[in-house]
Structure 1
């Protein structure tokens, strides 16, 4: 398949395409049952008064002129009390027929350039341990696996645990 591609900032109109790719990614990661995001939530959270994230998309144009969304990167800013502003890449995804053409790397590089423009000191992301192909790629381009270097563990509260924990604050 012959095509060219470009990367641009996502808009409200891209919600359905991005949600479709998020579901594809969730299926690949064996987590589709956990994927509850809808286009409506995506639009509200990303394009409302207080955006929770930023998103860029890759569009491919075929030789016949057909244009379609083929990838995305979703990121947001976090803060390090040691180093200041950081960017966190939540997802990078490229549809299967468009992989191995540099699109995923270009999506990641675009986020890196945005991070530099915003004065970020770090670019953070996570990768499932079984995804050795992705881990190998990230390491080959200079990413450090903090699991091995500093023994950091990623922890989280899910919704039920979050509510349970918050309700116990101040109680002994």
Structure 2
């Protein structure tokens, strides 16, 4: 009889641990994103000489990396300016949308107890992300019109 009680206690402890994990994991990601968003909101990276430093690649090599303008794009998104965000880093805005969808599918799968397949499990996702990033990097640095308007 005592063996059954001990087993039930261990199973109950596992259930409680899993329940906390289902809430703590997504909650910690949400809090981290909220803190980063608050930092960007108050730092205002659109004005020169702010708290957030400039991109080291741009400062040292004078080229735009794929992430250049991402903090300014997030600032514009937080203020409801989608056009400004797309101007600063269009691929970054699309990537943020994909990351939000991935977070929601992961959280729903965690709460349901079974994985929900999202875009990140597709066969060619890694290659597609790599190709889009490299093409964005190259296109942003072409010094011919209309590509020169993509520099930030």
TM class by shorter chain equals under 0.3
TM-score, normalising length: structure 1:
0.24
TM-score, normalising length: structure 2:
0.26
